Structure 1
Amino acid sequence: MSRPKKCRHLSSCVPCSLFKPNGIPSSELEKIQLEADEFEALNLGDVQKLSQLDAAASMGISRQTFGYLLASARRKVATAVTQGQALLLPLNVKKD
């Protein structure tokens, strides 16, 4: 049995719900879902340039969990960009 998921503090504002290659209808594209906590990890780690320790504290999670989230988010974004897939962004993340 796995451990219960810890509540995470999210504060990023998602500007849109989908990124996709230009000129291709989204119905024709494979889609990759970026989860809310992955989006927050990207924002804190890569945009705001917080250390993993500070970003993890901001989200209320361990540094190791933050590292896993950041790696997963980066992998999904890189896959979408390099393979011409659509990236679905979370709709439930709102600014505190």
Structure 2
Amino acid sequence: MARPRKWRHVCCLPQNTLFGPLRLARGEDGPIVMTVEEYETIRLIDLEGLNQESCAERMGVARSTAQAMYRSARRKLADCLVNSRRLLIEGGDYKLCDARETPCGCPRCLRR
């Protein structure tokens, strides 16, 4: 039996969930789907400047898990940019910050 996946802590959901080129190519495949936790790793590492260890702590996962999610998210972003594909952010195994929990430390946290 497979081990159950751990919930990843996410501070906030993205304001927009669909990104892509203004003109779509004919016969384009469906959008590339990025999970919310992959989006969170991009936000924490690239936007907030955290290292992978700090990102993993904030999300409540192992550093190797954060690294794998980050690598997957970067590959999806590259595919979208290079091949002019749409990106859809949805799904995943995540839990949003909750007012009953301790603060996540994020400057964008909606609970402040």
RMSD across aligned C-alpha pairs, in angstroms?
2.4
TM-score, normalised with respect to structure 1 = 0.85
Decide whether aligned partners of structure 1 residues 12 and 83 sit closer, same or farther in structure 2, where only a CA change above 3 A counts.
Answer: same
The aligned runs of 1:1-96 (5 Å cut-off) are 1-24=1-24, 28=28, 30-90=30-90, 95-96=110-111
More strand by share: 2
**2:32 partner SS:** strand
Question: C-alpha displacement at 1:28, in angstroms?
Answer: 5.0
Partners of 1:12 and 1:75 lie apart in 2 by 22
TM-score, normalised with respect to structure 2 = 0.74
Question: 5+ unaligned residues in a row in structure 2: which ranges?
Answer: 97-109
- Output the amino acid matched with 1:68: A
Where has structure 1 moved over 4 Å in runs of 4 or more?
A: 91-96
Question: C-alpha displacement at 1:49, in angstroms?
Answer: 0.8
Question: C-alpha displacement at 1:30, in angstroms?
Answer: 3.1
Question: C-alpha displacement at 1:15, in angstroms?
Answer: 2.0
Partners of 1:13 and 1:93 within 8 A in 2: no
Question: C-alpha displacement at 1:24, in angstroms?
Answer: 2.9
**1:5 partner SS:** coil
Q: Which structure has the larger Rg over C-alpha atoms?
A: 2
Question: 5+ unaligned residues in a row in structure 1: which ranges?
Answer: none
Partners of 2:80 and 2:86 within 8 A in 1: yes
Partners of 1:32 and 1:88 within 8 A in 2: yes
More helix by share: 1
Count of residue pairs the alignment pairs up: 95
